[in-house]
């Protein structure tokens, strides 16, 4: 792969990552409600999903899903159902009056659970898979040796730059959170917002 091709790919990847979308919206909501560490953990899960999709593109599974309406629909329904489930959990937490606290003893965040949530949000979204199926091959030289290795390199590059950008956003949102932390009922507000964001993502996954 030529250096200029890689530079074009990296530039396009950064611009695509910075474009407003459901992942960024949910990441910011989570970072504001639970802090930068939660946002970075979620970012790690999301980019792990990117690696998974890259592997599927490399082995040809993405092409199969693209050409199988049934497989695409099943994956889309499972993805939407999962998002609706965690949206329901957020609304449930809001109704119970969950509060945000700076005290570590009050922090009950399971970073492992949050990481898995990020992975599943990406893995169960067939639109992400089809995006990488269309995007990555545009920068692969199939006449050269090891096109599969080129796909892996591009996928890992996209994941790394996305993680760095998402983490920076999470840190900035975490700093904003510290400034508004003492607002009354802030925890309930963010739980409602989180649930709404997830519900919207699930709806767009079903109708697009």
Percent of the chain with pLDDT over 70: 62
Answer for the pair 43, 27: CB distance below 8 angstroms, yes or no.
yes
pTM comes to 0.70
Span 89-126, pLDDT tens digits: 656 655 655 444 444 433 445 888 889 888 988 888 77
Q: Which residue has the higher pLDDT, 188 or 21?
A: 21
Domain ranges of the chain: 39-207
Q: Token pair 């919206």 is at which residue? A: 25
């Amino acid at each position: 792969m030529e250096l200029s091709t890689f530079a074009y790919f990296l530039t396009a990847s950064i611009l695509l990552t910075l474009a407003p979308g459901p992942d960024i919206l949910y990441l910011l909501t989570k970072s504001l409600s639970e802090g930068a560490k939660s946002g970075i953990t979620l970012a790690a899960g999301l980019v792990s999903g990117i690696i998974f999709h890259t592997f599927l593109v490399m082995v040809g599974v993405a092409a199969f899903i693209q050409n199988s309406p049934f497989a695409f629909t099943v994956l889309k329904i499972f993805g939407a159902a999962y998002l609706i489930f965690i949206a329901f959990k957020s609304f449930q937490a809001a109704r119970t009056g969950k509060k945000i606290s700076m005290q570590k003893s009050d922090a009950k965040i399971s970073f492992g659970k949050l990481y898995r949530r990020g992975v599943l949000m990406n893995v169960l979204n067939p639109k992400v898979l089809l995006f990488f199926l269309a995007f990555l091959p545009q920068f692969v030289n199939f006449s050269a040796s090891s096109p599969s290795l080129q796909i892996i390199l591009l996928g890992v590059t996209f994941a790394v730059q996305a993680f760095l950008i998402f983490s920076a956003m999470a840190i900035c949102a975490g700093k904003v959170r510290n400034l508004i932390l003492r607002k009354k009922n802030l925890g309930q507000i963010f739980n409602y917002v989180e649930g709404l964001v997830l519900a919207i993502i699930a709806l767009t996954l079903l109708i697009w």
